[in-house]
Amino acid sequence: MSENNNPGNNNTDVPNDNPGDGEVDIAKLLSDEKVRAALEKIADDKLKAIKDKLDSAYAERDTAKKTLEAQQKAAAEAEATRLEQEGKVAEALKVRIAQLEKESKETADREAAAEARIVVLTRDLAINAQLKLGDFKNAKAQAAAEREIQSLLTKNDKNQWVGTKGEPLSDVVKAYLADPENSYLLAAKANGGSGTGTIKSNSSGSDGKRKKLSEMTQAEVIALAQEGKL
Name every residue whose Cβ is closer than 8 Å to that of residue 77 and which is 6 or more positions away in sequence.
96, 99
Note if the pTM is more than 0.85: no
Residue 207 predicted with pLDDT over 70: no
Mean pLDDT along residues 126-150:
87
Mean pLDDT along residues 128-145:
86
Taking only Cα atoms into account, the Rg of the chain, rounded to an integer number of angstroms, comes to 31
- pLDDT band for position 76 (50/70/90)? confident
Separation in Å, CA 156 to CA 5, 35, 128: 80, 40, 20
Residue 71 predicted with pLDDT over 80: yes
Q: Which of 9-18, 58-67, 163-172, 217-226 has the highest mean pLDDT?
A: 163-172
Phi, psi of 153 (to 5 degrees): -110, 155
Are the C-beta atoms of residues 149 and 179 closer than 8 Å to each other?
A: no
- What whole-number distance in Å separates Cα of residue 229 and Cα of residue 226? 8
Separation in Å, CA 192 to CA 23, 108, 133, 195, 196: 38, 54, 15, 9, 12
- pLDDT band for position 19 (50/70/90)? very low
